Each structure stands twice: as C-alpha cells, then as structure tokens.
C-alpha cells in the first residue's frame, strides 16, 4: 500500500490528509510539533478582544477525527531532517525518542514563521509574536493584567490592525507602528486606508507611521521602545511585520521562490516529484499576475492542501490559482479586497487603470442603507480585471468581492462587467448596481 507522510498538520496539512483519506485507501502518517490541531489564528483577535466567548470554537478538528479514518497521528513530534534519497523522515518526540517514517509521497505543510525584527533588546520578556495558540493565551493573560497598560503593536498589516483593535477593546493604551505611512499598505490603496486610519484613531489608537523601532529597552521585561522619532513606555510589544515560509527542512533540496517558499506547480508538486508542498510554505499561482507568487492565507492553505491530497490519491487535479482575496473588520468598518490594488500592481509591474464609485447600497428611499466604496483595477492593454477593493459598514460587500475573485480568475474585462446582469430589488441594491455603474464609468 502506498504511504504518504504529512509534516505539519494545521490547515494545509489537515486538508491534504482529508483529501487522501477520503479518496483512497493509502497509508497516511501525520506528524505535528504542537499538541493541538487546527488552531484558527484568524479568530485570535476576536477571542483576546472578547468579542467571542472563549477560544474553544477556534479548533475545528482533532486527532481522533483522523485516527477514525485510519491515519497514524504523531503530535508533539518534530521532524528534524529528511533523507530525500532514502525517502525517510527523521523526527523526535517531546520525550526525546527518535522516530523514523519511510514514505512514497511526502507533503510539506510546515507553514510560515513570523519575521523577527533585528532590533537590540529583542530577547527581553513581554515581546511576542501572534501566530501560535500559546502566544494567544499569553497575550490574553497579559491583557487581563491591570499593570499591563501600554501595548505597542509593530506592523499595521492584518495581524497588527486586528490586535490593536483587540487591545483597545480590553481598555489598553495602544500604539500602532508601521514602517510605511499608513495601515494595510499591502492590500489597499490610500483611498481605503485613510478611512481605516481615521477609524483606528477615532477609537483611540495612537498611530505612529513611518516610524521604525530601533531598540527595545528594559531590565528583564521590555519597558520602552525607541524609534527614530521618540521613546515610548510600553508593557507589552506585539510584533507583526509579516511571515516568511518555513522552509527549514528542504531548503537545500528543493527549488525555492525568491522569498524561500517551496516552488510548486499547479499540482502542488515541488522540484522533487515525490514531494508536495502546501499552504504557507509554498508558492501559489496568481491569476491577477498570471504567474507565481507568495500569499500566506488560510484560504490558500486549505485549497492547496486539497489539490495535493487529490493528486496523491490518484485524481489529477490542477489548482485554478488564487486571487489572494482577503478581508478585515475593525470596529464595524469592513474592508475586503481581491487581486491587486493600484499600488501593489505597480510593484508587480502590472500597468493598470482603475474606476471608483462611492454610493449607497440601496435606493435612497430605503431606511437601512449603507454607503459603499468600490475600486475596480484593470489592466491597461487587455482591460481584464486584476483587482477590486471595497469598504462599507455592511458585511454584504463580502459577497460582491467573491464575484470579483471569479472575474479575475476567468479574465473578465471591465467592459464585460458593465453590462453584467445584476438583479434589482430595493432590499438589496439599486436598479443600476454600483458594480455596473463603476464598470460603465471606466475610461
């Protein structure tokens, strides 16, 4: 019987395991360093910000679910090395016992690692990342402590903005830092981030943009951070300046992308045909870019896991590629985006134009009505849609961004979108939907 070993059993590894176990009778061995399975870190800010009742719902499966399907599950076991010629994985348990597993196919699902700022004083206590469940527990306890008053969040990306909101909801003084001059610069244009920055400031979060941390000071625990512009008293620092792929085990054996991610094809196969890579440790194919890139998202982890698992199970499945669709909701202000913003398109050398609309969602006579901002980004020559960004106080916009994701995948042009049949009912939208209106107004 063919045997597959999966290293790392968070979202990507679990999706791959399910796909193999559900579609074949292969032997599957799952190896995971942590004790827990399937921690949805995306719910951390909701949990530590006390918007949901506790952490329990943030785990969606457990080892028993996989053992019931016939998998051998090794938790609290760390893979130390892989013999790619002999096809053997070498691991060590928490008790120090050496473990070996041979394989026919190997799935690398080792995820990502938060980037560590190389700043003096980084070894001090009360400086943390926010990725693992244990880090969430630690932050939750720190928030509970009344002596912990001042929180510095470094990086105003997705994790940083969400953690800033969570800390504020726990009545802390929050200082949010970013190297660039605004929040969420990787996902949205200024037209959107200006609103989010106002939202953050209106809720009492101190914004320190364009301000790099140079040093952490303190005796045992961090007490101050020093930037180019000043010195601030802090009791807790949360570092959130991005992820790097965790390529430790195979970086010397496999072909890598520019940032070190395992380079994979549309079947999730690496440069070694018996080795697949999925989730945050691997590249993705971007339909907006029409090329390979790196986007660390749980949604990508799940889909890439399924693709690898199906292929290993014997069903040749090709990934349709991704758009990097994402969303954020802070103090009731929702923003969603897919593909590229105008700024990020420039970084990837895409020549684009854009069309904007600011409108109410429904006809004016409707009582409950939210305003909506929409920007559609399209390629100058081909006119295919390569991105969209939306913001509103209604979460309905999330459904619209899904349509833009499909439009990018299917290479729909801005002109085709203008005449797209979008229904009208006052409860939902206007006779001329804002999407049609924006597309028709395109240059």
Ligand X SMILES: NC(=O)C1=CN([C@@H]2O[C@H](COP(=O)(O)OP(=O)(O)OC[C@H]3O[C@@H](n4cnc5c(N)ncnc54)[C@H](O)[C@@H]3O)[C@@H](O)[C@H]2O)C=CC1
The answer to whether 4 and 27 are in contact (CB under 8 A) is: yes
Per-residue x/- marks for ligand FAD, 57-96, CB under 6 A? ---------------------xx-----------------
Looking at the Cβ atoms of 170 and 383, the one nearer to ligand FAD is: 170
Residue 83 is encoded by which pair of tokens?
């013999």
* By the rule CB under 6 A, 140 interacts with ligand FAD: no
Task: From 402, 412, 335, select the one nearest 377 (Cα to Cα).
Answer: 412
How many residues touch ligand X under the rule CB under 6 A: the total is: 26
- One of 124, 179, 226, 366 touching ligand X (CB under 6 A): 179
11 is catalytic: yes
Instruction: For residues 87 and 105, give the distance between their C-alpha atoms in angstroms, rounded to a whole number.
Output: 8
Which residues are bridge partners to 176 per DSSP? 153, 207
> Cβ-closest residue to ligand X?
157
**Residue 358 CB, nearest distance to ligand FAD (Å)?**
26
Which residues are bridge partners to 389 per DSSP? 337, 375
**Residue 283 CB, nearest distance to ligand X (Å)?**
13
- One of 18, 26, 110, 283 touching ligand FAD (CB under 6 A): 110
Instruction: For residues 417 and 304, give the distance between their C-alpha atoms in angstroms, rounded to a whole number.
Output: 29
Instruction: For residues 74 and 79, give the distance between their C-alpha atoms in angstroms, rounded to a whole number.
Output: 10
208 is catalytic: no
**Residue 339 CB, nearest distance to ligand FAD (Å)?**
15
* By the rule CB under 6 A, 10 interacts with ligand FAD: yes
Where does this chain touch ligand X (CB under 6 A) — which range of 14-22, 60-68, 148-156, 314-322? 148-156
Site for ligand X in 308-327 (CB under 6 A): 326-327
Distances (CA, A) of 392 to 152, 375, 396: 28, 12, 9
Instruction: For residues 354 and 350, give the distance between their C-alpha atoms in angstroms, rounded to a whole number.
Output: 12
**Residue 41 CB, nearest distance to ligand FAD (Å)?**
4
- One of 3, 33, 203, 217 touching ligand FAD (CB under 6 A): 33
For residue 156, give every residue at least 6 positions away whose Cβ sits within 8 Å of its Cβ, in sequence order, or none: 164, 176, 177, 178, 180, 182, 183, 184, 185, 207, 209
Q: Which parts of this chain interact with ligand X (CB under 6 A)? A: 42, 117, 154-160, 162, 177-180, 185-186, 212, 240-243, 296-297, 326-328
């Amino acid at each position: 019987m063919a045997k597959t070993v999966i290293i790392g059993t968070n979202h990507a590894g679990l999706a791959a395991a399910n796909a193999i176990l559900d579609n074949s009778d292969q032997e599957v061995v799952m190896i995971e360093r942590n004790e827990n399975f399937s921690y949805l870190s995306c719910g951390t800010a909701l949990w530590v910000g006390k918007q949901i009742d506790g952490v329990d719902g943030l785990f969606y499966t457990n080892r028993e679910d996989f053992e019931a399907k016939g998998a051998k599950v090794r938790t609290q076991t760390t893979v130390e090395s892989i013999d790619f010629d002999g096809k053997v994985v070498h691991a060590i348990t928490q008790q120090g016992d050496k473990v070996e597993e041979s394989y026919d196919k190997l799935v690398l699902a080792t995820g990502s690692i938060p980037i560590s700022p190389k700043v003096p004083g980084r070894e001090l206590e009360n400086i943390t990342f926010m990725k693992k469940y244990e880090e969430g527990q630690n932050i939750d306890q720190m928030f509970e402590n009344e002596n912990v008053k001042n929180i510095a969040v470094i990086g105003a990306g997705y994790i940083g903005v969400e953690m800033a909101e969570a800390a504020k909801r726990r009545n802390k003084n929050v200082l949010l830092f970013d190297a660039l001059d605004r929040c969420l610069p990787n996902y949205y244009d200024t037209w959107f981030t200006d609103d989010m920055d106002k939202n953050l400031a209106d809720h009492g979060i101190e914004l320190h943009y364009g301000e790099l941390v140079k040093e952490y000071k303190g005796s045992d625990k961090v007490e101050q951070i020093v930037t180019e512009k000043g010195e601030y008293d802090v009791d807790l620092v949360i570092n959130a300046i991005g992820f790097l792929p965790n390529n430790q085990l195979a970086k010397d054996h496999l072909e890598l992308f520019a940032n070190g991610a395992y380079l994979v094809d549309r079947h999730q196969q690496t440069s070694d045909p018996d080795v697949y890579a999925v989730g945050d440790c691997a590249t993705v194919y971007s339909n907006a870019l029409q090329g390979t890139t790196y986007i660390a998202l749980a949604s990508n982890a799940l889909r890439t896991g399924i693709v690898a698992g199906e292929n290993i199970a014997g069903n040749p499945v090709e990934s349709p590629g991704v758009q990097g669709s994402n969303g954020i909701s802070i103090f009731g202000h929702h923003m969603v985006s897919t593909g590229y913003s105008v700024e990020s398109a420039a970084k990837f050398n895409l020549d684009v134009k854009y069309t904007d609309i600011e409108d109410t969602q429904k006809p004016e006579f409707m009582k409950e009505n939210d305003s909506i901002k929409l920007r559609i980004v399209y390629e100058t020559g081909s006119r295919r849609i390569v991105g969209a960004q939306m913001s509103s106080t209604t979460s309905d916009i999330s459904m619209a961004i899904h349509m833009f994701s499909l439009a990018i995948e299917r290479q729909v042009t801005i002109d085709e979108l203008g005449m797209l049949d979008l229904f009208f009912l006052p409860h939902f939208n206007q006779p001329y939907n804002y999407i049609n209106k924006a597309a028709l107004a395109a240059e």
